[in-house]
Structure 1
Amino acid sequence: DEVLAINDKVVLRAEDLLTWMCVGTEWRWGLRAVWRGACAPPADMPRHAPLAHSKLDFSDVDSEKSTIEVDAEAPGVVVFSYPRYCRYRALIARLEGIQATWLRDSLVAALGGYAAPTKNTRILYCKDTFEYPELEGHEFVCNHLAPRLKGRPRGRRRRATTPDDRDHDPAKRAVGSPDVSLRALYAGVVSRGGYEAVCRLRLWRDLHREQPARTRRHYE
């Protein structure tokens, strides 16, 4: 039931993301989730905890979702954190002796479990991440469109610099080489048609053969 995640966040366009959708594909791996329609009446059950714990306002998204008709037989996949997956699985195991399916599913939903909108929703968990440098060169990645958010500075105490610290300068580490010129990097991107063309044709390796992903981050 475990899946791995890439530890780098990326920005994608919605229309590009739609091209990755697979219609008519079955998914048989993972723990089968409790179906919301199998819970006991009243049908207006308390709202379950959201999958994405965020301070962002998703009220407009929820209102749009409520207007969309959901096929109860459609497949679905939900990825939990490992602790939440363990709690969910332990909760279902404790209620395993209950014969009435509708009562068991209702208790799972009432005790804080997840109730899925379709019958064929599978639950997976993610515990580990991995590095994938080639992701930076994908044609759909649009990290340059991400907003630059400035948080409140943390009062971290500065420590005295040493000669070893100067050798690990972040600007030098960004591309893995201290002698890379930003002017030369910019000129190389312009000569190849600009940023969009370099991303689309995956030409970052031509600019820096050993570390194309870091070269792109350094340019951005």
Structure 2
Amino acid sequence: MVKLIGQPCGHHGSYTFYKAFSYRYRSDDQHERVLMLGEFFFIRISPSDDPCIGELQLVWDDHQNDQQLSSTRLYFLPEQTPDGRLSHHGQHEVMAANDKVILKLTDLVTWITHDVDWIAEANEHQNDLSTVVVLSYNRYCRYRNLLKRIEGKEEELFGHYIVQNLLTELGIPQQRNKCVHILFCRDTFNNEALLNNDLNCDHLGKLLGFFLSILIRLLF
């Protein structure tokens, strides 16, 4: 079950945009989960694929085609890209697929996973979505510099609140999970398999054209 929630945040032709949606991870799930624009979550594109990271960027109701759709940017470990991990890749670096993936909300939910073990300590918090944040390289450098300035005062300032306050200062929304892993992205790559995936509704997303990029800037 998938449901758009909250008041619409924009309209364009036959499209109505929202900031969040709720869903049940499994049919026997007793609680609805909420995923909001700008949140990061783990994705497994197929059962045989290693998990990657999704960033929800747009959610809208396409009245003309009677579809509830999403635009998600995907991030992968360097090992998951065609060229693999190279010497210049940082320990906390991920790479973004060049093209965003347009999915029906019902299909996006089938990709969401909580079974992730390639980020240390993640297993302890598998039931929470906000276990990771991906920053631009410039923001990540600012984050590391801010951490350096308070080095040695972590216990005094309570570690989790330090991270949350620094993320807020960098313009990143508060994370619901008390265990937040900070990664950065500075490069992209072509992911042909993603473009050719049967669930990809890229043709529907292209109808929005330039308006999509404008709306993203307005919402963030």
Which of the two has higher C-alpha Rg? 1
Q: TM-score range by the shorter chain?
A: 0.3 to 0.5
Q: In proportion to residue count, which structure has more strand?
A: 2
Q: In proportion to residue count, which structure has more helix?
A: 1
- Greater RCO structure (CA 8 Å; 6+ sep): 1
Q: What TM-score results when the alignment is normalised by the length of structure 1?
A: 0.42
